[in-house]
Amino acid sequence: MFRFHDLRILCATVALLSACTATTGKSFTTTEIVKFDSPWAMAFLPDGRLLVTEMAGVLKLYDPKGGSTGIISGVPAVVHKGQGGLGDIVLHPQYPSNGLVYFSYAEAGDGGVGAAVARARLVLDEHGGGTLADVRVIWRQVPKTSGAGHFGHRIAFDRDGKLWISSSERQKFDPAQDMGSNLGKIVRLNDDGSVPADNPFADRGGVAAQVWTLGHRNVLGLAFDSHGQLWADEMGPRGGDELNRIERGANYGYPIVSNGDHYDGRTIPDHDTRPEFRAPVISWTPVISPSSLAFYDGALFPQWKGNAFIGGLSSQSLVRIEFQGATAREAQRFDMGRRIRAVKQGPDGALWLLEDGTNGGRGWLLKLTPPRP
């Protein structure tokens, strides 16, 4: 027999029957909704259901109304290794009419592994699941390399329907400055994967034509504010996590400058030694390990309109960011007691988080709502 001497086990068990709720401080109530296996990203459908990627290569559809979880079949083969696997998922801005979804994943190929972005038509069935039809890879990291770190592969659409992808430097450092590679870059594409003619390096051709900004390390957060300005958060090396304001053609300096240092002990000159590189708007040492970025404009937390939230992995935190023009500051940090992998605003104005399911994390989908009075 067993006893419920561990509240977490009790909570996980009770959650099969009814959600388990805890109030963190006084800012919000956190409710454990349902568990996933190493979830990485989520996207809300117009009907309020939630697509959730699991790193091993499973795409799930969760219905908050009924509490049921279905499978979306047809995900291509992913390399689930290290930080690689099925990654981000976003809806096309015209999803209600064209049914297109875009997702990223680590794929194997000549030279090793690399991130890829595919688009597909999401065909839902009447049983809470569905399939991906007409899957087409529209972008790939060049070149594929060894190792299993720093894919980045966060995806965002802007209001003009352009597709933005963070392509991290695969822990290879120098490619972030090499315009013959699209590693360590933020790229801008048309929604079919072609290169817009007005990209800053379009006249150079090749993968350089895709590049909007360069000199990035591991960009896991990518989101537009209400003015259409793109922001990106970036994992620094030892120290030097960054929030960057993404500006056309700018070079953010990695690995030439960083407010952190290499893990092997070699120092990296700070940003202020080389003003020709764009410096972060916020730099964190000690680090927060930013996994994700979302702007908030909902009604449930009116005091946070226009703020952004960053999910923190090693910091096990949710970081609230306030903005003023081109500057920003960390306004508040909530200790979540769990590694936060993803953050999104739901259609209900609640904040939804995914708990990292690796390193002992348990993969909960969490819903943050105003505290009960």
Q: How far is the CB of 108 from a second copy (least distance, A)?
A: 7
Residue 210 gets which letter from DSSP? G
150 counts as catalytic: yes
Which segment (77-85, 251-259, 280-288, 327-335) binds a second copy by CB under 8 A?
77-85
Note whether 188 and 162 are within 8 A (CB).
yes
Span near a second copy by CB under 8 A; candidates 75-83, 110-118, 291-299, 342-350: 75-83
Instruction: Work out whether 147 is an interface residue with a second copy (CB under 8 A).
Output: no
CB of 169 to a second copy, least distance (A): 23
Cα–Cα–Cα angle for 333, 219, 195, nearest 5°? 140
**Residue closer to a second copy, measured from CB, 107 or 242:** 107
Of 201, 134, 140, 135, nearest in space to 165 by CA: 140
**Residue 81 within binding range of a second copy, rule CB under 8 A:** yes
Member of 41, 42, 78, 257 binding a second copy (CB under 8 A) = 78
The answer to whether 74 contacts a second copy (rule: CB under 8 A) is yes
Return the closest-CA partner of residue 348 out of 81, 141, 64. Answer: 64
- Considering only residues 28 to 47 of the shown chain, the ones binding a second copy according to CB under 8 A are 37
Residue of 21, 29, 131, 190 that binds a second copy (CB under 8 A):
131
Question: According to the binding rule CB under 8 A, does residue 299 interact with a second copy?
Answer: no
Q: How far is the CB of 219 from a second copy (least distance, A)?
A: 24
CB of 157 within 8 A of CB of 192?
Answer: no
The runs of H, that is alpha helices, within the chain are: 7-14, 95-98
Residues in the chain, total: 373
CB distance 133 to 123 below 8 Å: yes
Number of residues that bind a second copy (CB under 8 A): 33
**Which of 76, 149, 298, 306 is in the footprint of a second copy by CB under 8 A?**
76
Using alpha carbons, list the distances in angstroms from residue 101 to 134, 170, 188: 11, 25, 17
The active-site residue, picked from 5, 80, 150, 227, is: 150
What binding mask, one character per residue, do residues 327-366 give for a second copy by CB under 8 A, x or -?
Answer: ----------------------------------------
Write the binding mask 106 to 125 for a second copy: x where contact by CB under 8 A, - elsewhere.
Answer: --x--------------x-x
15 binds a second copy (CB under 8 A): no
Which tokens is 170 given?
């695969």
Judged by CB under 8 A, the stretch of 70-78, 171-179, 268-276, 294-302 that binds a second copy is 70-78
Under 8 Å between Cβ of 80 and 127: no
Position 37, amino acid? D
Q: If residue 54 lies in a helix (H) or strand (E), which one and from where to where?
A: strand 50-54
Extended beta strands in 225-363, E state? 230-235, 241-245, 282-284, 290-295, 308-312, 317-324, 327-335, 340-345, 351-355
Query: Which stretches of the chain bind a second copy, using CB under 8 A?
Result: 1-2, 13-14, 17, 37, 54, 56-58, 70-81, 86, 108, 123, 125-127, 129, 131-133, 135
Q: What residues act catalytically?
A: 150
